[in-house]
Structure 1
Amino acid sequence: MSTTLAATTVPDYLRRRGLSAAADEAWLIQQLTGGVSGAVYSAWDGEHRFVVKQSLEKLAVEDDWTAPRDRILNEARVLDMLGDVVPTRSPVVLDVDEDSLTLTMEHAPLDWTDWKTELLAGRVDASLASALGTALGTIHQSTTNHTWTLPPDDGAAGFLALRVEPFHYTVAERIPEHAPQVREIASRILATRDCLVHGDFSPKNILVSPDGHSERQFWIIDDEVGHRGDPTFDLAFFLTHLALKRVRADEHIKPKFDEAAAKFLDAYSQTGTQVDASYLSQQIGCLVLARVVGRSQVRYLDASARLTARALGVELLTRAGEYDLSRPLKIP
């Protein structure tokens, strides 16, 4: 029987799963924030730290947005695959509970943070962006013709429910003048089944070691949308987040976002994966629009910045041929 976890029940849950024997008084439990699709807890039993994640059926956004809860099982499979192709770049899976649809993972070091926090503070590490480009390219290259352990549909159902429907289809409904092009792009995305696509490759899902080290360590997390799909989507998703944060940034910080985007793309290309610049531009345009009019809208843009972002989205969507990968995104 499926049970819903709460902070008070996590210790007993981990004991029942055989992951700890610590008494109640030893535990420190904290509910983690930042995501919208799951209840996530940090658990410390006095000796070991765990991350416990359970899928939500109704996502924590204003719009009515639901998704199959068994996507957590897909996340576990994707994490195992990442452990094979980019070792040390993701947490280790400790336990998968198919009954309560709960995943228990290795906990990141306490001095790590998510990259989104740094970017919003104006700290833009282009070297880290380059390393992320290499990692993503390696994932895409290594999983082409991969023997899959994903569900029979290769994770397509979760991607449709959590990305294409709330992003592309919602943009088509709310900006009808661009609906035909947006739906055409969505159809192309869904028809492409080339390699493992993370589906949520964004700064909030990159945990990083403290700045100042010669080579920063990082983990790629939140893999529940992973599927066999279109690698351009991951590129577009990542660059969308850099573009939106650039809109918000002070003028002297904007060039740092340009440099990060350029280094990310260059490192990705060095892994041997070909990129269609026009198609990438169209995908970025769709996703930028989705984050200002879709079901999951960014919360860090004010009204003026949202108008700028919307104009950028339309520009990239409708003038795709003008987007050149050799130069960074330029935003008015």
Structure 2
Amino acid sequence: MPPITTLTELSSYLASAGINYTSLQPLSGGTANFVWRLQTSDGRTSIVKHAEPYVASIPTMPFPVDRMDFEARALERIPRLLGRMDIEVLVKVVGLVRYDAEAKVLVLEDGGAKTLKESYTDPALNIPQLGAALGKWLADLHASTTSLSSPIGDNQTAKFIYRHSYNGLADALEKFGFDRTIGERINERYGSLLQTDDECICHGDFWPGNVLLRRHGVSPPTLTLVDWEMTRRGTGATDVGQFTAEAWLLDRFRGQRGLASAFLRSYVEAAKPSEEFLRRVVVHLGTHIAFWPTRVVWGSEEETREVVAIGKEVLEGALEGRWALDDVVGLGAGE
């Protein structure tokens, strides 16, 4: 297949596929794929997403294109598995319009122009309400797929990428003057489990940047969950830990609006997880906030060191058994 990386190449592909449109707009914000917003003559919009065998923002970095196959499979099958939830905010999986497996082109429902991360500081939004809705939805995803054989396949790429923070944890700790052996112990004991975890279907990249908002006047927005290419079978604790960590960073650096606590409390109330599950949440949360702020800028060098120190303390508590449910929820509240 010829490459589809420019507007000209996409226009040629759309013409060959018989897809009519009136305008195309390249979208920024992602790193792995080429993404555009397509508008038709009736004013409707959809998202076109294409994978090349490399990271779009780093063409020298290979990236298997089967990521599109996993995403399409998830979008086709997961909505049929979910239960009916009684929540005030509509949370949904992004709609699949069509998928060209040969060209690796997904056409998706347009869930909105802004993510929850981008909208976090909007005073019109009830951030705790949105966090609680996402926590309850995620608990349903995990519970609804626990006893099923995987309908999405074995996503080895996702498992490999998901261990990146564990593999880099020791170096991140050492960079800021902390004991690297903590990171090595966490990676050996818990990072290694990512290859064999098989409890339920995980989104695989569950964070506020992959939640799109569609506004409805004064009513709560619809929340659409996108970017399912890292979906895999694993432990739901990693989804919970990742979202809580990113929500905690938003709360800490963007205004303490209570996203992390509302999300985590809602998930725990709905799922009633085991102590071992909660330990895995703590481990993943600590790993995330000790590693990713050293790669993605949230604050100054000193502020980053403070966050890494908190992550280190969380991980030490997990290793030594010095934590309880109230501690997990308390961390979610930014305490």
TM-score scaled by length of structure 1: 0.84
Normalized per residue, which structure has more strand? 2
Q: Within 2, Cα distance between the matches of 1:12 and 1:121?
A: 39
Residue 43 of structure 1: aligned partner: 38
Residue 14 of structure 1: aligned partner: 14
* Residue 184 of structure 2, aligned match among 172, 179, 188: 179
Distance 1:71 1:244, change over 3 A: same
| Displaced runs of 4 or more, over 6 A | 61-64
Q: Within 2, Cα distance between the matches of 1:9 and 1:169?
A: 38
Gaps of 5+ in 1: none
Aligned AA for 1:68?
Answer: P
Gaps of 5+ in 2: 85-90, 174-179
Distance 1:277 1:84, change over 3 A: same
Q: What is the CA distance between 1:181 and its match in structure 2?
A: 1.9
TM-score scaled by length of structure 2: 0.83
Cα pair 1:83 1:90 within 8 Å, conserved: yes
Residue 30 of structure 1: aligned partner: 25
Tell me how many residue pairs correspond in the alignment: 312
Q: What is the CA distance between 1:124 and its match in structure 2?
A: 6.1
- Pairwise CA RMSD: 2.6
- 2:165 partner SS: helix
Cα pair 1:75 1:225 within 8 Å, conserved: yes
Cα pair 1:196 1:226 within 8 Å, conserved: yes
Q: Within 2, Cα distance between the matches of 1:114 and 1:305?
A: 25
Q: What is the CA distance between 1:73 and its match in structure 2?
A: 0.9
Aligned AA for 2:37?
Answer: S
For the pair 1:199 / 2:204, whether they are aligned, the reply is yes
Residue 148 of structure 2: aligned partner: 146
Residue 55 of structure 1: aligned partner: 51
- 1:279 partner SS: helix
> What do the CA deviations read for 1:94-130 (whole angstroms, capped 9, x no partner)?
2212222121112225xx5210012256766100101
Cα pair 1:236 1:283 within 8 Å, conserved: yes
For the pair 1:283 / 2:288, whether they are aligned, the reply is no
Q: Within 1, Cα distance between the matches of 2:300 and 2:59?
A: 19
* Residue 306 of structure 1, aligned match among 304, 307, 314: 304
- 1:217 partner SS: strand
Instruction: Point out the more displaced range, 205-214 or 67-76.
Output: 205-214
Q: What is the CA distance between 1:159 and its match in structure 2?
A: 1.4
Residue 265 of structure 1: aligned partner: 264
After TM superposition, the structure 1 = structure 2 runs for residues 174-253 of structure 1, keeping only pairs within 5 Å, are 174-175=172-173, 176-177=180-181, 178-210=183-215, 213-249=218-254, 253=255
Cα pair 2:172 2:291 within 8 Å, conserved: no
Residue 99 of structure 1: aligned partner: 102
Q: Within 1, Cα distance between the matches of 2:286 and 2:59?
A: 22
Q: What is the CA distance between 1:310 and its match in structure 2?
A: 0.9
Aligned AA for 2:314?
Answer: L
